[in-house]
Chain A
Amino acid sequence: MIDSLPPGWVLIVGALIIPLLKGKLQSAWMLLLPILGFAQLLTLEHGNHGQLELFGYQLTLLRVDRLSLIFGYIFHLAAFLSVLYALHVRDVRQHVSGMMYAGSAIGAVFAGDFLTLFIYWEITAISSVYLIWASETERSYRAGMRYLVIQVGSGVLLLSGVILHFQATGSLAFENLIGPSGDLGSAGPGVVLIFIAFGIKCAFPLLHNWLQDSYPEATVTGTVFLSAFTTKLAVYALARAFAGTEILIWIGVTMTLFPVLFAVIENDLRRVLAYSLNNQLGFMVVGIGVGTEMALNGTVAHAFCHILYKALLFMSMGAVLHRVGTIKATELGGLYKSMPWTAAFCMVGAASISAFPLFSGFISKSLILSAVAEEHLVIIWIGLLIASAGVMEHSGIKIPFFAFFAHDSGKRCKEAPWNMLLAMGIAATLCVLIGTFPSALYSLLPYTVDYQPYTSSHVVTQLQLLLFAALAFAVLMKTRIYPPEVASTNIDSDWVYRKALPSLTGSVARVGGGAWNALMATLGRGLAAIRQGLNKLYGPQGIFARNWTTGSITLRVALMLGGYLLFYFVF
């Protein structure tokens, strides 16, 4: 039986107690849960625990190694910061939902078999959708529905893949499925289904749009929760099962590039961050595809840093939305005057994601880029460098510039609430600490790190890339070539199921309905003609009406005798 409570259950069970508590006690309890869960992680010993046999299936509820532990640490940290940021929220259902969501993501990371993973996989989907619905708008209701269908659908694909994989191999173990060849094409259908299920949650190109669709519709605090767990759980799952799968390199580099273009023209700043999140996942996916120890270290380090600075950026934009009531770039600007602390924290997040030296992105992204360079993947390396300039564009400059500077919108508001500021402050401090003293994070990575990010050449080249990108922005603004923000919707792949398919089914219904009506009308006319003919013979004015009753009886008897004859003949 289970010799130790799987991590995540502290949060899941603890979440059920939240509604029973009130006021300060409730707040204290919510802040305590991630700390308790974190403390539990420190007591765990490496290895497989909680192994049990269920209906002949070998399950491993708890697998502890360096890869699962570091994701466990950062998920608890993210849960703590998200709870702190949401502390002022009165809607207790959001607290329960967020806590269960974090708990199930943590549980999934420690799952040692695919069946256990599947169960947590679905709980993350179901528990998190309320964070979107809690916005209580028509848009958020619809976006939440789409989110739920796609997330649960990814779980169904996962389960189908696991069943096929089990039939083929007899194993449920959640381990590398791809082997040293790294070729997905030669893998079994079950493995391919599992790959697609992970790909949906990881927002692969064309499977990505649920992310940009739903995250910006969630509540101010809900988006911070959402930004941390779902996609990084998928990154973990890919790193666990598909490390070294070559196609991931190409998928990853595509993911770093195309969202950048959408981010340039997007007006909703939280949606800009969702595109940016997609782009950051691309760097991690490339690292998984390369699959060397250095690349995987890079992916894990980048996931760790990314959760912190992405949460920080979503927190700062959430604070703006909370205070101003809008997050559209067209309606913002000059807010540094009202929200100086939020602006400063946002700029720390922007510097971290852009990978400025002394900030966290610098020490994690460079691991991935160096691993790519060491494998001499020239095209990929150039792609990632272009994407790095793109990160500078949308997250480094656009987010802080259009919200806090640019032209003064004349809007004045209060600074963010204390709990939001504290959460942002802690996240910002961690971004700087990790960036300045990387060895602490490096010591937690799955493999030994033999890498020095702070060489003079690396610092100079990175500063060149970023400052010249900033210069390009300045010139584009001065010459008015930079596209002005426009209140608009930009269509993306979700257009297929939000517009094209509904209108297609609409046309099918119209055409099909028309054809059905025409068919019915023809049939009706035919029947009417027959009825008219019968009426002519047997109706009141018909020939047989001269001896009406006898005539009709004759007909009926003739029909009955005919029927009897037929019946007798057949049997």
Chain B
Amino acid sequence: MNRDVSITTWILIAFGIVNIYFLTTGKLSFGLEGLGLITAVALTLAIYSFLYKDNPAFKIVENLFVGVAMGYWIIITWFNILKPDVLEPLIVPLFKDTGKSPQYIVIIPTILGIFMLLRFSTKLSWLSRWSFAFVVGLGSGITIPNFVHAFILKQMEPTFAPLYTGDILGSINTFLILLGVVSVLIYFFFSVEHKGVVGGVSVIGVWFLMVAFGASFGFTVMARMSLLIGRVQFLLRDWLGIIQ
């Protein structure tokens, strides 16, 4: 028996003993709730087993996650989109007297949606271009003016604000925004050689970028650790019951 098999066996035995103890002492219920909790714990431990090394338990759970997520999405899409927006307003009134006339306008988006799925057919995949043309045209028309307004014009406003805001800290903040925007823009302006004043300002731009990357990395560490903390809280509180 190699080392990895031995470790896995001992972990499974320990996991089994702990759960049998909890079930027999009534800390976990024999019903769906208890079974669900044990399953969640097993899946959590299997996912974290990857930190030791890649293994079959991790692979199984990884694939299980993809399958369950896809199944869940399909069910949600059926009950929230296809049933209320296509089946009930269009298909059902065609075959059953619901007191409402069928909404024939729904045929157009439904057909465009079906065309998208024809990508999988070698003979009919050209029809999917109509759907994509519609999506791209509509998307561009809606997105471009709104994005220009919200993400360029409105974002420029703080840069154009008067430098003196009435208090020293606020003024420093406004100055930093102006300096950051100008120096980073100059750093990404490659038509002029970065020498002299331009070079100096672009170095300030690099510093602003480095601070931004550092902040981003720090926040990412915080996010990943928050996920770990949440899972450890789940194991210690909901499963083992040793914290409140």
Task: Decide whether A and B are members of one complex.
Answer: no
Q: Which residues of B contact A (CB under 8 A)?
A: none
Q: Which residues of A contact B (CB under 8 A)?
A: none
